[in-house]
Every structure is written in structure tokens, then in C-alpha cells.
């Protein structure tokens, strides 16, 4: 007996926490990145507060990364969340994104020495808080990110790295100690990264 594949393609539902939706984050840009086939990717922009769900219908039975970006009223990226989903079994799936709840900091980044994200071939920038294992990341091309830091005093630095190799290629100096609180918004400013060569730290 020959068994034919199910002709119906699965749906992917994306959900997020309602506390991430506020007046300053009216929309979410969603991107479905094909891990097996980049041509399978899709994009969708939806209101943040619209039932906290969105659906990518009838997608190929492959593996994906779901990238969600909170946008401010002008369309500027504020924060990002990601999840990986395996659709190869042909069943409907749900991806959950969490943007950190209340946003209490903003940081921007740039490079010196005439380099850029493209010239260094980096995909992401990690914003590292010390002491402690705590960081945020966003696509290098965003030029900045907003997020949630716990109560405490930290120094902050930026590290640019390749998503494929997880190798850091540029890093900024650490800031002076900064106090963070859930009740206070902290504008960290712009961190300037320099190529670090053989002295690059590990992620």
C-alpha cells in the first residue's frame, strides 16, 4: 500500500505576553526565517494588542526561527524575541515570544575605525550586563535595542558577533556603573565598538 503525504500544510500560531503591549509599542513585526530553506521565510506586521496572537498559515514542513520585534509608533525597533520551531511533522505548532515585560532601558551602538555590521560580517550585537550572566541581543542593523534589566548596579558593554560561528569580532568598553530599577527608565547612550582581533572575548 502506498501512503501519500497529507496535502494540508500546517499553521504556525505566534503568541506573546499581553504585558509587552503598551502605548509605546503598538505593533509587532514578525519574521519567519527558514532554517532549512531561506526561501520559505515570511513576514507579517500586526497590532501588538490584537489578542496577542498572529498566524502564519499553510507553511512548508520545515524548521524555522520566529523573530518578533516590538515597534514604536514611528516604526523604530525597540526590543526583540526569538523562538525556533520544527514543523517537519506536519502538525500545527505554537511559538511563544517574550519581550521582557516592562522596558526600563535603551542602548544604541555604532563602530569606530570606519567599519560596519556589513564590513565585519556580523549578524547580532549582544548587550552584556556585569556582574552576572545577563544580556540582550538584537540584529546588528537595528543600531540599538530596548529591554528590561533587573534592579541592581551594572556595567554594560556591547559585543558584535557572527550568528553562524558565535565568534565576537568587535567590542565596546564597559560603561561606568549604572543603577537600574523597574520604576525608572535608563538611557544608556551609544556604545562604540572596535574590532578586537585576537583579544576578542567569548560570548
Q: What share of the chain is helix, strand, coil (3-state, %, to 5)?
A: 10, 50, 45
Q: Please, which residues bridge with residue 30 across strands?
A: 44, 68
What global pTM score does this model have?
Answer: 0.61
Give the Cα separation of 62 and 60 in Å (integer): 6
Give the Cα separation of 151 and 119 in Å (integer): 36
Confidence check: pLDDT of 69 > 70: yes
pLDDT at residue 112 in the model: 94
pLDDT at residue 133 in the model: 67
Residue 171 CA, chain-centre distance (Å), reads: 19
Confidence check: pLDDT of 40 > 80: yes
- How sure is the predictor about 101, in pLDDT bands with cuts at 50, 70 and 90? low
CA-wise closest residue to 158 among 121, 186, 185, 196: 196
- How sure is the predictor about 94, in pLDDT bands with cuts at 50, 70 and 90? very high
Confidence check: pLDDT of 62 > 80: yes
Mean pLDDT for 129-157 is: 88
pLDDT at residue 1 in the model: 45
CA-wise closest residue to 91 among 53, 57, 61, 55: 61
Amino acid at each position: 500500500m502506498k501512503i501519500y503525504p497529507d496535502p494540508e500544510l500546517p499553521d504556525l500560531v505566534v503568541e506573546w505576553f499581553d504585558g509587552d503591549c503598551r502605548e509605546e509599542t503598538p505593533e509587532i513585526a514578525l519574521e519567519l526565517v527558514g532554517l532549512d530553506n531561506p526561501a520559505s521565510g515570511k513576514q507579517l506586521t500586526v497590532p501588538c494588542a490584537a489578542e496577542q496572537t498572529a498566524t502564519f498559515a499553510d507553511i512548508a514542513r520545515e524548521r524555522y526561527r520566529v523573530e518578533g520585534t516590538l515597534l514604536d509608533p514611528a516604526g523604530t525597533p525597540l526590543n526583540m524575541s526569538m523562538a525556533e520551531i520544527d514543523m517537519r511533522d506536519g502538525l500545527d505548532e505554537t511559538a511563544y515570544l517574550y519581550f521582557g515585560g516592562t522596558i526600563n532601558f535603551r542602548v544604541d551602538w555604532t563602530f569606530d575605525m570606519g567599519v560596519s555590521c556589513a564590513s565585519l560580517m556580523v549578524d547580532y550585537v549582544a548587550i552584556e550586563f556585569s556582574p552576572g550572566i545577563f544580556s540582550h541581543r538584537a540584529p546588528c542593523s537595528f543600531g540599538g535595542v530596548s529591554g528590561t534589566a533587573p534592579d541592581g548596579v551594572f556595567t554594560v558593554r556591547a559585543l558584535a558577533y557572527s550568528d553562524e560561528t558565535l565568534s565576537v569580532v568587535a567590542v565596546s568598553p564597559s560603561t561606568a556603573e549604572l543603577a537600574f530599577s523597574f520604576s525608572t527608565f535608563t538611557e544608556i547612550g551609544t556604545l562604540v565598538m572596535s574590532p578586537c582581533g585576537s583579544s576578542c572575548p567569548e560570548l
